[in-house]
């Protein structure tokens, strides 16, 4: 069937986008519209001495200026981190208070202290400039390693020494013993550069309080509107859940940055009640740079030991993670359960230990960004493996293959149980597609032109399909991570799927419809996907962690199982046959082996007219389901990058990028390719272009697109994307997830390729021409000295 599983169905959502008719939050127009602009701290750390609103309040068109004392006075709760991580000494994490509008202290440049509500956006922004805040500046620490030093400025009273937690996983004694017995130990210091997610649609909120109904509506740029409603209600006391509707309409990319519920959304809701106006706020790009949660920012040291045969004997990692000035919603889980649990990579490592210290700094809060912890783990493991291979004089692929896990399920020493995979198959497919055998000749040819060619590998694994609720609950998560779905078969036979997943570019309106079209053998145009509105969809945990396929679609399958069971009963009753003999095919519900059949629409009509249903059957044909996964899923694969470096300038060109992924079952290959492409582009961005930079005073240096280098069309090649899949045994469709793989797998492949080209393993991301040139010069000088 041309619209079922595996078909390259054209995206059904695209018509509205390519004609400019998408409806995003900033496109929403409401009656009684007013605009919010935030008064933000220009300094990274200070006591707030006073806020003088008088000049702003006198401006024509300014409706009100509200501050944090009013906000907390109205009972609006502090912003919380929803995952409790426990330090290795058993103590709970040290979470400092975070008010949506700061009252006593500001802790990073951009921290909001007040909000202006005015008749126009321009006026609101002008008036925000007129609010006079007196700051008493305090010493600043912007870097994680410095924040841990004795005498560093203290950011939160609740976190002595700026330490949020000191956490470990694995067995330190065994890892030490493994390293002691090694014949070779590779040691590296590895930094994972700080990034800004930068969805192209800035965050936006339109909040409306209806006094007559005592009810709030929030349009917002969210990846998970139900979670937003839950948190806004249960923790921030904005409104009880039944008095709050959250709508995430078309959303222009998320990448993690739109998971969290930020000060701005909370404040707009509260301000709409205070002013009795609909309040709209849309970030400008510079505001996005200082408010959207940043990603990554790890400093690690690692030791990996090998025996004479190249097998890993022990692996020990020590990481400092910068969480910024406040703990964002899932920040604590990223450098722990989403990072250290993946440090076994694709390898059979029996002796493994990781220690992670999370620290406060005077910077924007850091949380999950595409991959979230897993890119940091993959980068560390894969740089170690490639460097070790070079030190051992082995081929990088050979060293990896020697250590591959080949039997499943495989339990790692860092609490993951890999359920499936064929790492050899992905490695072989990537090597063939990249023509690795032809590389020496290409390198020689490049050398004749004065260029340096390099080849780099990355064999990544990730844990997706987030996540089994009881398991993550046991690890400190404050929520369950199931998904819900509802399948409504209408009286005319058309089908509506209501899902708690949220699409912000992933193409759910197409992919989700494909599994329904296949299951009920119905035309895809008769199936619609409803998402993103808490008044329409029963509940949902949203889209992040590559979970919408493995978890969201599994919930749809579960609801379809229930629908099918009822359809069989109705058909069996009306056709006077046994339920076991009923089949759904050709758009009809039939008695197998006979010409007795009912049209799909006739079943729908029968269910709703209820004139002739089996005894005791309820009318209607609508079923819902909650699906809680039994395990994470484990997408994996091999990426191979080939680069050419100009030794005179350090300029690096990616000449070929090859991916072989194992995503399990693929519903729509065209959409999956796009996910991989986009992920790789973000990974290449991290490896070569992007870095959030703070100065010693905590001033953000990279606050615009003139300073923060986004990957552009001219920076990237086309990608060679392939699949070698094993079916995931953990969910009904056999899916593993594809959303984050590219961003996880690609950075080490790029850096391994460049370090191969220049002959120096000591190269940090981003590999700008300057960094590459310096590393090459250092290697050349060292070689000359020898």
Partner 1 sequence: MSRIHVTTTINGDETEYLCEPQDTLLDVLRDELDLTGSKEGCASGDCGACSVMLDGRLVCSCLVLGAEAEGRAVETIEGMASGEELHPLQQAFIDKAALQCGICTPGILVAAKDLLERNPDPTEEEVRYWLAGNLCRCTGYDKIIRAVLDTAADMRGAA
Q: How far apart are CB 574 and partner 1 at their closest, in Å?
A: 41
Q: Which is nearer to partner 1, 33 or 490 (CB)?
A: 33
Cis peptide before 688 (omega within 30 of 0): no
239-277 exposure pattern, b = at least 16 Cβ within 10 A, e = fewer = beeeebbbbbbbbbbbbbbbbbbbbbbbbbbbbbbbbeb
Q: How far apart are CB 120 and partner 1 at their closest, in Å?
A: 9
Q: Which is nearer to partner 1, 26 or 67 (CB)?
A: 26
Give the whole-angstrom CA distance, residue 323 versus residue 94: 12
89-98 exposure pattern, b = at least 16 Cβ within 10 A, e = fewer = eeeebbbbbb
Q: Which is nearer to partner 1, 536 or 712 (CB)?
A: 712
Q: How far apart are CB 9 and partner 1 at their closest, in Å?
A: 10
Q: Which residues contact 498 (CB under 8 A, 6 or more apart)?
A: 485, 486, 487, 488, 530, 531, 536, 537, 538
Q: Which is nearer to partner 1, 105 or 280 (CB)?
A: 280
Q: How far apart are CB 489 and partner 1 at their closest, in Å?
A: 28
Q: Which is nearer to partner 1, 661 or 673 (CB)?
A: 673
Longest dimension (CA), the chain: 93
Report the interhelical angle of 374-392 vs 741-758 (nearest 10°).
Answer: 30
Q: Which is nearer to partner 1, 161 or 717 (CB)?
A: 717
Q: Which is nearer to partner 1, 331 or 510 (CB)?
A: 510
Q: How far apart are CB 666 and partner 1 at their closest, in Å?
A: 14
Q: How far apart are CB 393 and partner 1 at their closest, in Å?
A: 35
Name the residue among 684, 750, 744, 735 with its Cα closest to residue 370.
744
Q: Which is nearer to partner 1, 386 or 690 (CB)?
A: 690
At residue 477, φ and ψ (nearest 5 deg) are -65, 140
Q: Which is nearer to partner 1, 345 or 552 (CB)?
A: 552
- DSSP, collapsed to helix, strand or coil, labels residue 228 as helix
Give the whole-angstrom CA distance, residue 655 versus residue 452: 12
Length, in residues, of the chain: 786
For residue 688, give the DSSP letter. Answer: I
Write the DSSP string, 275-323: HTSEEEEE--HHHHHHHS-BB--EEEEEEEEE-TTS-EEEEEEEEEEE-
Q: Which is nearer to partner 1, 125 or 410 (CB)?
A: 125
Residues 662 and 725 sit within 8 Å (Cβ to Cβ): yes
Q: Which is nearer to partner 1, 310 or 507 (CB)?
A: 507
Whole-number CA gyration radius for the chain: 27
Q: Which is nearer to partner 1, 628 or 707 (CB)?
A: 707
Q: Starting from the edge strand earliest in sequence, which strands make up the sheet with 132-137, in order?
A: 105-106, 46-52, 132-137
Q: How far apart are CB 315 and partner 1 at their closest, in Å?
A: 32
Task: Write down the residue that tokens 């922004």 correspond to.
Answer: 125
Give me 625's structure tokens: 């389901």
Give the whole-angstrom CA distance, residue 714 versus residue 653: 10
Interface with partner 1 (CB under 8 A): 10-11, 13-24, 26-27, 29, 122, 198-202, 250-253, 255, 282, 284-285, 504-507, 670-671, 673-674, 677-682, 704-706, 710-716, 718-719, 742
Q: Which is nearer to partner 1, 396 or 532 (CB)?
A: 532
Residues 315 and 338 sit within 8 Å (Cβ to Cβ): no
Q: Which is nearer to partner 1, 118 or 477 (CB)?
A: 118
Name the residue among 668, 667, 687, 661 with its Cα closest to residue 742.
661
- In 531-621, where do the E strands start and end? 582-585, 588-591, 597-599
Q: Which is nearer to partner 1, 29 or 611 (CB)?
A: 29
Q: How far apart are CB 742 and partner 1 at their closest, in Å?
A: 8
Q: How far apart are CB 325 and partner 1 at their closest, in Å?
A: 25
Q: How far apart are CB 252 and partner 1 at their closest, in Å?
A: 3
Write the DSSP string, 723-775: E-----TTSTT-B---SSHHHHHHHHHHHHHHHHHHT-S--PSS--HHHHHHH
Q: How far apart are CB 755 and partner 1 at their closest, in Å?
A: 23
Q: How far apart are CB 733 and partner 1 at their closest, in Å?
A: 21
Give me 535's structure tokens: 């008044």
First to last CA, the chain: 66
Q: Which is nearer to partner 1, 20 or 90 (CB)?
A: 20
Q: How far apart are CB 251 and partner 1 at their closest, in Å?
A: 7
Q: Which is nearer to partner 1, 111 or 201 (CB)?
A: 201
Q: How far apart are CB 108 and partner 1 at their closest, in Å?
A: 22
At residue 299, φ and ψ (nearest 5 deg) are -120, 125
Name the residue among 657, 656, 740, 652 with its Cα closest to residue 688.
652
Residues 734 and 632 sit within 8 Å (Cβ to Cβ): no
Give the whole-angstrom CA distance, residue 635 versus residue 466: 12
Q: How far apart are CB 533 and partner 1 at their closest, in Å?
A: 18
Q: How far apart are CB 15 and partner 1 at their closest, in Å?
A: 7
Give the whole-angstrom CA distance, residue 265 versus residue 253: 18
Bridge partners (DSSP) listed for residue 135: 48
Q: How far apart are CB 76 and partner 1 at their closest, in Å?
A: 29
**In whole angstroms, what separates CA 286 from the centre of its chain?**
22
Report the interhelical angle of 374-392 vs 396-403 (nearest 10°).
Answer: 120
Q: Which is nearer to partner 1, 355 or 506 (CB)?
A: 506
Q: How far apart are CB 670 and partner 1 at their closest, in Å?
A: 5
Task: Write down the residue that tokens 């496109």 correspond to.
Answer: 27
Residues 746 and 658 sit within 8 Å (Cβ to Cβ): no
């Amino acid at each position: 069937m041309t619209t079922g599983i595996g078909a390259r169905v054209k995206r059904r959502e695209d018509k509205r986008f390519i004609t400019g008719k998408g409806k995003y939050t900033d496109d929403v127009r409401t009656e009684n519209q007013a605009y919010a602009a935030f008064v933000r701290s220009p300094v990274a750390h200070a006591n707030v001495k006073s806020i003088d609103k008088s000049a702003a309040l006198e401006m024509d068109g300014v409706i009100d200026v509200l501050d944090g004392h009013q906000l907390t006075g109205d009972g609006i709760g502090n912003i919380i981190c929803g995952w409790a991580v426990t330090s290795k000494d058993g103590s709970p994490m040290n979470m400092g208070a975070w008010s949506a509008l700061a009252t006593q202290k500001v802790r990073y440049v951009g921290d909001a202290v007040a909000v202006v509500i005015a008749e126009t956006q321009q006026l609101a922004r002008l008036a925000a400039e007129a609010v006079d805040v007196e700051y008493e500046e305090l010493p600043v620490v912007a870097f994680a390693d410095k924040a841990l030093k004795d005498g560093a400025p203290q950011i939160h009273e609740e976190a002595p020494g700026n330490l949020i937690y000191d956490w470990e996983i694995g067995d330190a004694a065994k890892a030490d013993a493994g390293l002691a017995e090694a014949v070779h130990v590779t040691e590296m210091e590895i930094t994972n550069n700080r990034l800004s997610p930068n969805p192209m649609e800035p965050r936006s909120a339109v909040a409306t309080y209806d006094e007559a109904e005592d009810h709030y509506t929030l349009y917002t740029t969210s990846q998970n509107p139900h979670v937003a409603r839950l948190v806004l209600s249960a923790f921030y006391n904005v409104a009880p859940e039944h008095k709050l509707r959250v709508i995430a309409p078309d959303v222009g990319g998320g990448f993690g940055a739109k998971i969290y519920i930020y000060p701005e959304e909370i404040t707009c809701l509260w301000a709409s009640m205070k002013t009795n106006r609909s309040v709209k706020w849309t970030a400008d790009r510079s505001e996005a740079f200082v408010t959207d949660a940043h990603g990554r920012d790890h400093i690690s040291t690692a030791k990996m030991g090998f025996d004479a045969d190249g097998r890993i004997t022990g692996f020990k990692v020590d990481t400092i993670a910068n969480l910024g000035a406040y703990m964002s919603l899932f920040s604590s889980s990223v450098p722990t359960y989403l990072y250290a649990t993946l440090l076994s990579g694709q390898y059979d490592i029996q002796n493994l230990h990781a220690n992670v210290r999370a620290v406060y700094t005077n910077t924007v809060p850091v949380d999950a960004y595409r991959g979230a912890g897993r890119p940091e783990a993959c980068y560390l493991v894969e740089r170690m493996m490639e460097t070790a291979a070079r030190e051992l004089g082995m081929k990088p692929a050979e060293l990896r293959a020697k250590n591959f896990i080949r039997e499943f399920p495989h339990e790692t020493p860092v609490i993951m149980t890999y359920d499936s995979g064929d790492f050899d198959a992905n490695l072989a497919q990537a090597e063939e597609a990249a023509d690795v055998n032809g590389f020496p000749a290409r390198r020689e040819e490049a050398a004749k032109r004065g260029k340096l060619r390099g080849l780099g590998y990355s064999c990544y694994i990730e844990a997706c399909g987030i996540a089994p609720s009881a398991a993550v609950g046991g690890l400190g998560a404050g929520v369950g991570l199931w998904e819900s779905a509802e399948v409504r078969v209408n009286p005319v036979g058309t089908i509506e799927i209501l899902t708690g997943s949220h699409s912000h570019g992933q193409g759910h309106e197409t992919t989700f419809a494909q599994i329904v079209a296949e299951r009920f053998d119905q035309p895809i145009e008769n199936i619609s996907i409803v998402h993103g509105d808490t008044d329409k969809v029963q509940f949902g945990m949203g889209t992040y962690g590559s979970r919408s396929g493995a978890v969201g679609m599994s919930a749809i399958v579960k609801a379809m199982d229930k629908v099918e069971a009822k359809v069989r009963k109705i058909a069996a009753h009306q056709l006077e046959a046994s339920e076991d003999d009923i089949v759904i095919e050709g758009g009809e519900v039939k008695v197998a082996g006979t010409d007795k059949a009912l049209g799909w629409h006739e079943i729908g009509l029968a269910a709703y007219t209820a004139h002739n249903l089996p005894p005791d059957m309820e009318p209607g044909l609508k079923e819902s389901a909650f699906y809680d996964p039994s395990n994470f899923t484990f997408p994996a694969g091999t990426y191979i990058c080939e680069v050419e470096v100009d030794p005179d300038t350090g300029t690096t060109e990616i000449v070929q990028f090859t991916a072989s992924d194992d995503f399990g079952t693929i519903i729509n290959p065209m959409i999956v390719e796009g996910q991989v492409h986009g992920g790789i582009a973000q990974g290449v961005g991290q490896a070569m272009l992007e870095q959030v930079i703070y100065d010693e005073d905590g001033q953000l240096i990279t606050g615009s697109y003139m300073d923060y280098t986004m990957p552009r069309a001219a920076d990237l090649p086309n990608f060679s994307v392939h699949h070698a899949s094993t079916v995931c045994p953990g969910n009904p469709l056999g899916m593993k997830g594809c959303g984050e793989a590219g961003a996880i797998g690609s950075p080490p492949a790029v850096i391994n390729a460049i370090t191969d080209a220049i002959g120096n393993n000591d190269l940090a991301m981003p590999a700008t021409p300057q960094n590459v040139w310096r590393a090459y010069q250092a290697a050349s000088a060292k070689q000359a000295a020898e």
